[in-house]
Structure 1
Amino acid sequence: MKPLQCHDAWEQRKVGELLIERNEQAPMNEEYPLMAFIANEGVAPKGERYDRSSLVTDTENKLYKRTEFGDFIYSSNNLETGSIGLNKYGKACISPVYSVFHPTGIADSNFLGRRLVRKDFINSMVKWRQGVIYGQWRIHESDFLKIDIPVPSVEEQRQIGTFLDYLDHLITLHQRKEYGLKTYENRSIHYGTF
């Protein structure tokens, strides 16, 4: 892996300079299937737990938000429970309660997807929260777009995202290896090979 090289100073940017709302609504279809947006997973096929399509009476004409790979998805109602993240799935339709954004020319979606879900960013949003809905704080999209965050150049954002993907991959490999060793040890103890 090529070493990460930082070249330019990071600049304070408003989220609204980095993301543009994608407000495309359309009925679900084969190209844009109806999906769920799940905390810590992002866009994913609807499981039984998340499938509420039986509650919709007019599925043929019901409008959903369209999202593409790399879009940033945000729910103003449930930030503290993780309703914020990146679409790593691809073309999909999701509930219209979400706001969907795509990166501008000065933003990399992978970098922003990681940066905007960090606890320090979520904590910085506290001053924008308003009211309580079912015990959850609400932060309107217009306020979300006003928040300042430090970002490097788009090239540096890409390098950071690639580096973090590489680290995630290594962690996953080590977790699988550890799981495999534990499974082997458990079988060996069970069958008396130790």
Structure 2
Amino acid sequence: MGKNKKIGSLFNQLENLITQNERKIDLLKQLKQAYLQKIFNQELRFTGFSDDWEERDLSAISDKVTEKNKENQFSETFTNSAEYGIINQRDFFDKDISNEKNLNGYYIVHENDFVYNPRISNYAPVGPIKRNKLGRTGVMSPLYYVFRSRGVDKKYLEYYFDTTAWHIFLKMNGDSGARSDRFAIKDSVFNQMPIPYPTIGEQEQIGSFFEKLDKAIPLHQQKLNLLKKQKQAYLQKMFI
């Protein structure tokens, strides 16, 4: 077999592997969405849990973060992306949007704090709520609503906000008419959002289940990225 034929055969194998991994990623994402709906609707329950779920207002399981970066102690600005979660602002926009001189008016966001971004997008029709999983502290614009959970499993709460169940409350009590790109809701009303509240044991089980599912997606994504790089390398060799 000639050199070009060997490369062509490898190229075809890579194409098949790329397609397979793309399908796996799509299936895992679809599976996560299906489980989110069924578990938070209580259609599916983990073995050993049968107690009725309670319902608690957000104010009963969280506190609004009002700590400002008055002494400019922190300089890294975060943003809340509906698709990627809480990330460094420069990584998301490819430049700094905030003015370092004005960061003393920004809220301090610690690890595991939750952030509501009222900006509407295709991914988040009422804006996303995400948890800071960066492992470090930063600051965010006062346009965001930052809150710190208590008495609830953080992973469980994080994945509840990956559902669309809470959107109904916001749509009934908020307003997207003032600005077409931003959802408006008063803090005092936002705080009344009802949160389903199973036992802590069941919360932990649910949180761990979705965390394992989430970890599988980036592993396949890394493999896919590597295969695409290999494809590019073989393509270059074919045309040298």
Q: Does 1:122 align with 2:164?
A: no
Q: Which residue of 2 aligns with 1:16?
A: 59
More displaced stretch, 122-131 vs 95-104: 122-131
Structure 2 vs 1, CA of residues 182 and 66 (structure 1 numbering), >3 Å: closer, same or farther?
A: closer
Amino acid at match of 1:165: E
Amino acid at match of 2:88: P
Q: How does 1:7-156 map to 2 (within 5 A)?
A: 7=49, 8-27=51-70, 29-30=72-73, 32-39=74-81, 40-47=83-90, 49=94, 51-54=96-99, 58-59=101-102, 62-76=104-118, 78=120, 80=125, 82-89=127-134, 90-105=136-151, 107-130=152-175, 132-135=177-180, 136-156=182-202
Structure 2 vs 1, CA of residues 84 and 110 (structure 1 numbering), >3 Å: closer, same or farther?
A: same
Greater percentage in helix: 2
CA distance in structure 2 between the aligned counterparts of 1:37 and 1:6, rounded to whole angstroms: 39
Q: Secondary structure at the match of 1:25?
A: coil
Identity %: 25
8 Å CA contact 2:77, 2:98 repeated in 1: no
TM-superposed CA distance for 1:175, in Å, is 2.7
Residues 6-53 of structure 1, C-alpha deviation per residue, up to 9 Å, x if partnerless?
Answer: 5233212222222111211123645x3331213133332231556233
8 Å CA contact 1:76, 1:140 repeated in 2: no
Which structure has the bigger radius of gyration? 2
Greater percentage in strand: 1
8 Å CA contact 1:36, 1:50 repeated in 2: no
Aligned length: 184
TM-superposed CA distance for 1:167, in Å, is 0.8
TM-superposed CA distance for 1:182, in Å, is 4.6
CA distance in structure 2 between the aligned counterparts of 1:50 and 1:123, rounded to whole angstroms: 35
Structure 2 vs 1, CA of residues 139 and 69 (structure 1 numbering), >3 Å: closer, same or farther?
A: same
Q: CA RMSD in A?
A: 2.8
Amino acid at match of 2:137: K
Q: Give TM-score scaled by structure 1 length.
A: 0.77
Q: Does 1:175 align with 2:221?
A: yes
